[in-house]
Amino acid sequence: MKAQQSIENQSPGSRLPLLLIPALALTLVCLLLLVLGLSPLTIGRALASGSVGNWLKFSHVLSVWSPLLLCSCGLLFTFRAGLWNIGIEGQVILGAICCTAVLRLPGGLLPPPAVLTLALLAGGAGGGLWGILAGELRNRGGVNEIFGGLGLNFVGQGLVIWLIFGPWKRAGIASMSGTDLLPPHFWLQSPPGWRVAPVALALAVLTLAASILLLDRTRFGLRLRAAGTSPGAARLFGIEPDRISLQAMFLAGLLAGLAGGLQVTAVYHRLIPAISSGYGYLALLVVMLANYRPLAVPLIALFFACLVTGSIQLPISLQIDSSLAGVIQGACVLSALLVYGLRKEKS
Amino acid sequence: MQRFLIFLFFFVLISLPAAAATQTPADDEFVFGLLMVGPANDHGWSQAHYEAGREIEKQVPGTRMIYIDKVNPADRPGITVPMLADDLIAKGARLIIGNSDDMKDGIREAAVMHPDVYFIHISGDDALTGKGSRNLSNLMGRMEYGKMMAGFVAAMTTRTGKIGYLGPLVNAETRRLAASAYLGARYAWTRVLGKPAADLHFKVTWIGFWFNIPGVTSDPTLVTRNFIDSGHDVVISGIDTTEALVVAGQARKQGKQVWAVPYDFRGACAEAPDACLGVPWFNWFPGYRILITEAKAGRWRPQFLWLGPDWKDINNPGTSAIGFIRGSALSPEAGEALTRFQQGLADGSVNLFTGPLEFADSTPFLKAGEKATDSQIWNLPQLLQGMDGN
């Protein structure tokens, strides 16, 4: 499966303008809303006021954006290497588990900031190793990374549920509500009036910058592209596609694991079964909609984060189910895929 | 980049009038927010809260409810209780109710973040233990009585002597409610029907949460089917939704003699009336009225309210915090026995948390003649001897 070849390597001569994507998405969504008897303007206003209406709301958006961006950056590496890393969801979960494991160690040896740092590093390492596992299943076992990744997602989900109901359950309680709340000194703190931890934000922004640099300005990025575009030709230049793909899987897992660590330390302050919040799968949509281009990823991720956060206004203000936001996300991605497909055909 | 700019354009376009559209409450209006763990129309726990909120709007002048349902990480990934509290407060809420044990940590955190807003956490005990801030109160109904009635009618009806209890997650609340149902069943079995306690089988199966989360919890539909397939002919529900009753209704259509006792919502029997023995239901209105009225009048104080039934009329919607609506499948004989049982509970001549009682691991709970304190019942650490479950 060569993810890039199908979409990124399109002829520059394609005539269909990319502007068609938002136009098509908007039309689809408006039509759907009208059929449902809802006013597109009212829905749009509710989504906007719930996401960018004031700083508090926008900081909620950023708390979603940070882990989503980390996952999306990770996927840029695997897509560039021609891999569909569906297993990113499991990598987020493993990162959260490893992060929690460190935070549950008997304390006292290190100051809390050092423990938090170690926990986040452990999260990254856990996600990275889970990514390598999917990569090795592909390289050595011949298991397509899509199926291997999906399988590992189920294993990760099973593992987190087992931990929450088993060794890590609250005293006298067995509940999907999750593990005990972490002590506040293990929380990534937000300043008053903020709902996002500056550390999480900084990690996301730095990761984005590093990813852009790595992908577009280094020999490693070139090798990734070569391995993803034409593994046979890459070998002629001394590049080992299998090794490169493992490195890409590790990087993607590392960033996803870090996102899982942020979910534990900055958002939920405990381990819960739905700790990934589906950001792995959502990041796949983000990167596809961004046409695999790093510069567009933070912006599309921001748009999706606005949808996730703003959609809460739908039940509060309009008594409309917030799953409508998922329909809008789907319409955007479908429109993008449709336009990319048409462009490819025409070229 | 080009595409994003277009997205941004549309987004900003619709954002501009948004600020003007923000609804602000009138000065004399008291807005309260309700966070519900399940859907507002679940025919169970959340709907009982939703309807109580609507009743408050009607009966406490100057109040208005805003709400968000399905507040759980599976339905709303990435959204936390403090985040939703921010949203409700931005819409004018001056008091926020979190209706689930699952929201305990989030409500506690939100209450600290917003000291000028009142919070009610349903089913928790932070106001009792001192773990909560001054703006946090707790409310719960003494559903132990309702569960005793549920167990009573189950034992009066079963033909196999096998009763299934569809449990949610495991905590002190769910343990004491399951234990109450067992004690009610044992009382009917031994004291009314005169049968040996050893012949009563009472099995508890926990699904892991208050309702089904596919792929995460055990499926309550399958658990109920397993109960029925293994000879349990009455299933008592301890979860927020109506799967036990629905499955029992389906089984009856296939000719099986099975019954169920749903939970939480007074209208729950409507799902399958011919299989329904009755429903112990929560009436949140009296508790809401106390706390909201006091908050509105500026007389707030942190309270732990554990409200019981109004024994004069346990189904009085204005006064009784818990009730028991009889189902159409309840036989007249069982109904008469239930009336006598309720009278005994009301006048105190029947107190089922009286020793000798042992915990499931055979350690002593209450000595002969000893009556459990509220604290012992509230914090029940284990199921009781005679119950099959953990």
Same domain, B124 and B242: no
Q: What is the pLDDT of residue A18?
A: 66
Same domain, B267 and B375: yes
Boundaries of domain holding B150: 145-280+329-388
Closest-CA residue of B relative to A301 is B4
DSSP output for B122-155 = ET--HHHHT-S-TTEEEEEE-HHHHHHHHHHHHH
Contacts of B11 in chain A (CB under 8 A): 44, 48, 52, 303, 306
| Contact criterion met (CB < 8 Å) for B87 and A44 | no
Contact at 8 Å (CB) between B48 and B27?
no
CA distance A75 to chain B (A): 18
> Helix or strand or coil: residue B269?
helix
Please name which of A36, A155, A27, A167 lies closest in space to residue A93, comparing C-alpha atoms. A155
Residue with tokens 């099995």: B203
Please name which of B186, B180, B188, B207 lies closest in space to residue B198, comparing C-alpha atoms. B186
Percent of chain B past pLDDT 70, that is, above it, reads 93
Percent of chain A past pLDDT 70, that is, above it, reads 95
Is residue B73 situated within a structural domain? Answer: yes
Q: How far is CA B361 from the centre of its chain?
A: 27
Sign of the Cα torsion B8, B21, B67, B270 reads negative
Is residue B297 situated within a structural domain? Answer: yes
pLDDT at residue B24 greater than cutoff 70: no
Distance in angstroms (rounded) separating the CA atoms of residues B30 and A74: 47
Q: What is the pLDDT of residue A175?
A: 79
Same domain, B293 and B236: no
Contacts of A22 in chain B (CB under 8 A): 3, 6-7, 10
Distance in angstroms (rounded) separating the CA atoms of residues B67 and B93: 10
Distance in angstroms (rounded) separating the CA atoms of residues B126 and A146: 47
Contacts of B15 in chain A (CB under 8 A): 45, 48-49, 52-53
Contacts of B79 in chain A (CB under 8 A): 308-309, 312
A 254-293 near B (Cβ less than 8 A): 267-270, 272-279, 289, 291, 293
Q: What is the pLDDT of residue A267?
A: 95
- Whether the upstream peptide bond of residue A67 has omega within 30° of 0, thus cis, is no
Closest-CA residue of A relative to B381 is A172
ipTM > 0.85, yes or no:
no
| Contact criterion met (CB < 8 Å) for B4 and A296 | yes
Contact at 8 Å (CB) between A95 and A258?
yes
Is residue B315 situated within a structural domain? Answer: no
> Helix or strand or coil: residue A83?
coil
Nearest CB among B10, B21, B169 relative to A175 is that of B169
Closest-CA residue of A relative to B206 is A174
Q: Tell me the CB-side half-sphere exposure of residue B385, using CA atoms within 13 A.
A: 14
Q: What is the pLDDT of residue A109?
A: 83
pLDDT at residue B168 greater than cutoff 50: yes
Nearest CB among A53, A291, A300 relative to B18 is that of A53
pLDDT at residue B2 greater than cutoff 60: no
Q: What is the pLDDT of residue A154?
A: 95
Distance in angstroms (rounded) separating the CA atoms of residues B365 and A195: 46
| CATH number of the domain within which B85 lies | 3.40.50.2300
CA distance B280 to chain A (A): 23
Q: What is the pLDDT of residue A322?
A: 74
More confident residue, A103 or B42: A103
To test the contact with chain A by mutation, choose from B2, B3, B113, B121 the residue with the greatest count of A C-beta atoms within 10 A, namely B3
Closest-CA residue of A relative to B69 is A315
A18 touching chain B per CB within 8 A: yes
Q: What is the pLDDT of residue A13?
A: 41
Same domain, B75 and B173: no
Where do the domains of chain A lie?
Answer: 3-346
Closest-CA residue of B relative to A155 is B215
Contact at 8 Å (CB) between B276 and B245?
yes
A308 touching chain B per CB within 8 A: yes
CATH of domain A3-346: 1.10.3470
A-B contacts (CB, under 8 Å): 159
Q: What is the pLDDT of residue B44?
A: 87
Q: For chain A, which ranges sit under pLDDT 70?
A: 1-18, 347
Contacts of B18 in chain A (CB under 8 A): 45-46, 48-49, 53
CA distance A305 to chain B (A): 10
| CA-to-CA separations, A232 to A229, A235, B215, B257, in angstroms, rounded | 9, 5, 41, 69
Sign of the Cα torsion B280, B284, B285, B290 reads positive
Please name which of A97, A230, A73 lies closest in space to residue A158, comparing C-alpha atoms. A97
Contacts of A64 in chain B (CB under 8 A): 78
Closest-CA residue of A relative to B76 is A277
Distance in angstroms (rounded) separating the CA atoms of residues A226 and A244: 10
Nearest CB among A18, A64, A269 relative to B78 is that of A64
Contact at 8 Å (CB) between A123 and A264?
yes
| Contact criterion met (CB < 8 Å) for A175 and B22 | no
| CA-to-CA separations, A280 to A44, A58, A65, A73, A74, in angstroms, rounded | 26, 22, 12, 11, 10
Q: Which amino acid is at B137?
A: S
CA distance B328 to chain A (A): 34
Contacts of A174 in chain B (CB under 8 A): 169-171, 206, 208
B361 phi/psi in degrees, rounded to 5: -90, 15
Please name which of A336, A316, A314 lies closest in space to residue A326, comparing C-alpha atoms. A314
Domain count, chain B: 2
Contact at 8 Å (CB) between A82 and A229?
yes
Is residue B157 situated within a structural domain? Answer: yes
A172 touching chain B per CB within 8 A: yes
Is residue B324 situated within a structural domain? Answer: no
Nearest CB among A268, A289, A295 relative to B80 is that of A268
Contacts of B213 in chain A (CB under 8 A): 176, 273
Q: What is the pLDDT of residue B16?
A: 41
Closest-CA residue of B relative to A66 is B78
Q: What is the pLDDT of residue A16?
A: 60
Residue with tokens 């070569």: A226
| CA-to-CA separations, B362 to B100, B152, B196, B199, in angstroms, rounded | 32, 24, 19, 19
Contacts of B112 in chain A (CB under 8 A): none
| Contact criterion met (CB < 8 Å) for A175 and B102 | yes
pTM of the model: 0.86
Mean pLDDT, chain A, rounded, equals: 89
Contacts of A275 in chain B (CB under 8 A): 73
| Contact criterion met (CB < 8 Å) for B6 and A317 | no
Distance in angstroms (rounded) separating the CA atoms of residues A105 and A251: 26
| Contact criterion met (CB < 8 Å) for B76 and A161 | no
Mean pLDDT, chain B, rounded, equals: 92
Same domain, B198 and B300: no
Mean pLDDT of B324-328: 97
A181 touching chain B per CB within 8 A: yes
A 87-146 near B (Cβ less than 8 A): none
Closest-CA residue of A relative to B32 is A316
Closest-CA residue of B relative to A58 is B83
Q: Which amino acid is at B193?
A: L
Is residue B63 situated within a structural domain? Answer: yes
Tokens found for residue B64: 């208005």
Contacts of A312 in chain B (CB under 8 A): 68, 76, 79, 83-84, 87
| CA-to-CA separations, B355 to B18, B155, B358, B365, in angstroms, rounded | 63, 21, 8, 8
Q: What is the pLDDT of residue B277?
A: 98
Helical segments of A140-170, H only: 145-165
Is residue B2 situated within a structural domain? Answer: no
Contacts of B73 in chain A (CB under 8 A): 268, 272-275, 277
A158 touching chain B per CB within 8 A: no
Q: Residues B93-150: pLDDT tens digits?
A: 999 999 998 899 999 999 999 999 999 999 999 999 998 999 999 999 999 999 999 9
Mean pLDDT of B26-47: 89
Is residue B12 situated within a structural domain? Answer: no
